[in-house]
Structure 1
Amino acid sequence: MRIAIYAIAKNEVKHVAGFLKTCEGADCVLVADTGSTDGTVEALRDGGATVVPITIRPWRFDTARNAALALVPADIDVCLSLDLDERLNDGWRADFDAEWKPGATRGHYLYAWSHKADGSPGVEYWTDRCHARQGYLWRHACHEALYSDRVEEVNVHFRKLRMDHWPDSSKSRGQYMDLLKVAAKEEPHSSRNAFYLARECIFYRDWIGAEKEARRYLDLPSATWKEEKSAVMGFLAQCRAAVGDRTQALDWLKRASLLVPDRRETWVQMADMLYEAGDWTGCYAAASKALAIKKGPTAGFNDPRAASAHPHDLASFAASQLGQHAIALKHAQDALLLSPGDERLARNVAALSKLGG
């Protein structure tokens, strides 16, 4: 089996060494360069990658990725799309060969998006940018995805293969908003495009735009994925809270929790809001609901705080305010176990211990 890693790049020389190292094990490494001037092309070629300059006007990510895919040699069996700031797990090729099945066309694996500079993980979810060489095409101007209309898909869910994203925070994402608006206009019935546009508006704190797009999402017949709908209701809660309408914000979170009761993020968001309101009974109940959920990452809108020390921290503070010091101490200790270097959490444990928790 021959595996190709293919990518698009522009001015990413700082990532080249790590990218080439993580590509070790691939039979072919191909990069479509879209106009680098910082030495990216030369560094990639010196490291053994095949680099082909391309020009995409007007710019859109799906067209660029399709151009890169078209350059992959025809004798390749499986392709893996990788950006220069992404890294595969050590020994990935052995994991791949052990789990890929004859006749498979699409591979799913765990992806950790946007690691922080201090090494803390970002959002984790399952993704599927591993595919057979033939029969696939990228679609959507931004937040592009792979589609197939020429093969009957046979899926593999890798247990060990993993990809981590280490972004360059200095690079602008300003083009995303315009491209997402293009995507939404091109496919107005696509709930996927509406979701991403609403999320981008949230990123820029455009509460009016986010609420408008989130409500449009909920009205679309294609919006059938319950977990995504729950996340969009969370967007609406953020929008309402941002303008001081806590009642409606909590109502949206209650709807989200009824739709998908086992989504941790909803309960954490609710606990945060009740914390801000000083509702300690409600805050503790919501944080406890979150902590009772053990389900791992499933989609591209998980909040890393939900799997962090944060829910225990909320539960500890709420329990303390309710006079339940033993319970507060236990949650404080659990929070510290999840974030052992956090001095504030260490002080909380010390303070609660003195109270006789």
Structure 2
Amino acid sequence: MKIAVYAISKNEEKFVERWVNSMNEADEIYVADTGSTDKTVELLKQKGVIVNSVKIEPWRFDDARNKSLEFVSEDVDICVCTDLDEVFTKGWRKELEEKWTNDTTNARYNYIWSFDENGKPKTSFYIEKIHSRHNFKWLYPVHEVLQYTVKQQQKYITLDNVTLMHYPDKKKSRGQYLPLLELSVKENPNDDRNMHYLGREYMFYKMYDKSIETLKKHLALPSAKWKDERCASMRYIAKCYINKADYEQAKQWYETAIKEAPYLREPYIEYAQLEYELKNWNKVAELIENALKIKERPMTYISESYCWGYFPYDMLTIAYFNLNNYSLSLKNAVSAYLLEPENERLKDNIQNIKEFIN
């Protein structure tokens, strides 16, 4: 099999060596550079990468990625789309070749989008940016997705031992995302995915009324059927109401979110955070206990890492302490510490509760 990696770049000189070393398991590496003013192009060429300079005006990610895909040789069997701030685990090609068949169209694999301050995976989910050479194009100005251009059904494989890790430049502006999302919704007003992303982006920008309005539009779309994403829109609406100090509306939306997806921890724990701030300790304990009954973390971008670490047990520790149930408080303090033993505050909590009991 002939395998090619392709990417777009702009002023990524700091990532070139690491990225190429990770992608070198491919037969060919292509980059469409969209206007670097640093040494990105020079360094890529020194490492043997095939670089083409392109101009995308007006800027949109799908046009850039489609242009980069055009440069890939027609005789390539498998295309691997990555960005220069991403790194594969070693041996990714071997598993890809072992599992790929003649009728495979896409490969799924684990993507770690962010890490916490201790270097542990924070947000991870499956992505599908490995695909056959032909019959694919990128769609949407931002948060672009691969579209299969023929009517036959796609065939996916899953690469269980392949992980792509994201190490972004945190100083780089993402200010272009909001106008591009607005353009996405303008171009495709019935696309539920983009409507959800736009509502979330308005929340990030503290445009709470616009966020609520847009997320309600998402929920009203006939195509908005994925319960996990619907639940997330409801949670974001609740967060907006919290920032507007309308706590009763927030509570109602959290209740709705729980009914929509009772198998997810996120609505329970976020609701508990609100009740925690309001010092409603019985409600905090009830919500966290229900959340902890959920044992399986879904591999989606919506899954929040803090719901699966020490944090729920930490809140439960404090809730039970305030309810004078010191044995349960101690039990949860130990559970929290075991999940994050480097956290001195969690260690101190155990000692403080023991001393209080004695």
* Band of TM-score, shorter chain: over 0.9
Alignment of 1:137-216 (within 5 A): 137-150=137-150, 151-216=152-217
Does structure 1 retain, via aligned residues, the 8 Å contact 2:228–2:302? no
1:90 is matched with which residue?
A: 90
- Match of 1:229, SS? helix
Are the structure 2 counterparts of residues 248 and 221 from structure 1 closer, same or farther at C-alpha, using a change threshold of 3 Å?
A: same
Give ranges in structure 1 of 5+ residues lacking alignment: none
Number of residue equivalences: 357
Aligned 8 A contact 1:126 1:297 in 2: no
> How far did residue 294 of structure 1 move?
1.9
Instruction: Give the TM-score normalised by the residue count of structure 1.
Output: 0.96
Instruction: Confirm whether residue 100 of structure 1 aligns to residue 97 of structure 2.
Output: no
Aligned partners of 1:124 and 1:297 also within 8 Å = no
2:9 and 2:84 in contact (8 A); partners too: yes
Matched, 1:5 2:23: no
Partners of 1:172 and 1:46 lie apart in 2 by 28
Give the deviation of 1:177 after TM superposition. 0.4
Query: Greater CA deviation, 115-124 or 323-332?
Result: 115-124
Partner of 1:355: 356
| Residue pair 2:16, 2:84 contacting (<8 A) in 1 also | yes
Deviation at 1:342, TM superposition (A): 1.3
Structure 1 segments of 4 or more deviating over 3 A?
none
Residue 117 of structure 1: how far off its partner (Å) = 5.6
Let me know the Cα RMSD of the aligned residues: 1.4
User: Does the 8 Å contact 1:115/1:167 carry over to 2?
Assistant: no
Describe the SS at the equivalent of 2:31.
strand
CA contact under 8 A between 2:31 and 2:52: conserved in structure 1? Answer: yes
Cα deviation code 1:52-104 (max 9, x no counterpart): 11110000000000000111111111111101111111222222223333311
Whether the 8 Å CA contact 1:231–1:256 is kept in 2: the answer is: yes
Q: Is the 8 A contact 2:114 2:124 kept in 1?
A: no
Aligned pairs (5 A) from 1:36-75: 36-75=36-75
Counterpart residue identity of residue 84, structure 1: L
1:322 has 2:288 as partner: no
How far 1:203 moved relative to its partner?
1.3
Work out the CA distance in 2 between the residues paired with 1:212 and 1:15: 39
Displacement after TM superposition at 1:310 (Å): 0.9
DSSP-derived class of the 1:160 partner: strand
CA distance in 2, matches of 1:87, 1:297: 23
Q: Distance in 1 between matches of 2:248 and 2:51?
A: 55
Residue number in structure 2 paired with 1:238: 239
Flag the 1:100–1:325 CA change in 2: closer, same or farther, 3 A: farther
Match of 1:268 in 2: 269
Residues 115 and 164 of structure 1 are in contact (CA less than 8 Å); yes or no, is this contact kept in structure 2? no
Q: Give the counterpart letter for 1:352 in structure 2.
A: I
Alignment of 1:269-308 (within 5 A): 269-308=270-309
Residue in 2 that maps onto 1:310: 311
Aligned partner of residue 170 in structure 1, secondary structure: coil
Q: Which residue of 2 aligns with 1:121?
A: 121
Contact 2:199 2:212 in 1 (8 A): yes
TM-score scaled by structure 2? 0.96
Q: Which runs of 5+ in 2 are unaligned?
A: none
Of the structure 1 ranges 178-187 and 345-354, higher mean CA displacement relative to structure 2 is found in: 345-354
CA distance in 2, matches of 1:281, 1:160: 43
2:75 is the alignment partner of 1:109: no
AA partner of residue 347 (structure 2)? A
Distance in structure 1 (CA, Å) of the matches to 2:337 and 2:99: 37
Name the % identity: 36
Q: State the AA in 2 paired with 1:351.
A: N
Q: C-alpha displacement at 1:198, in angstroms?
A: 0.8
Deviation, 1:302, is 1.8
Deviations along 1:171-195, one digit per CA (max 9) or x if unpaired, are: 0000000000000000001111101
Task: Say if 2:34 and 2:54, in contact at 8 Å, map to a contact too.
Answer: yes
- AA aligned to 1:68 is S
- The AA in structure 2 aligned to 1:96 is L
2:70 is the counterpart of 1:76:
no
Three-state SS of the structure 2 residue aligned to 1:278 is coil
Kindly indicate whether the alpha-carbon contact (under 8 Å) linking 2:195 and 2:215 is maintained by their aligned counterparts in 1.
yes
Which whole-Å CA distance do the structure 2 matches of 1:350 and 1:55 have between them? 62
User: Displacement, 1:355?
Assistant: 2.9
Match of 2:93, as an amino acid? R
Cα distance in 1 between the residues matched to 2:90 and 2:328 = 41
Higher mean displacement: 314-323 or 139-148: 314-323
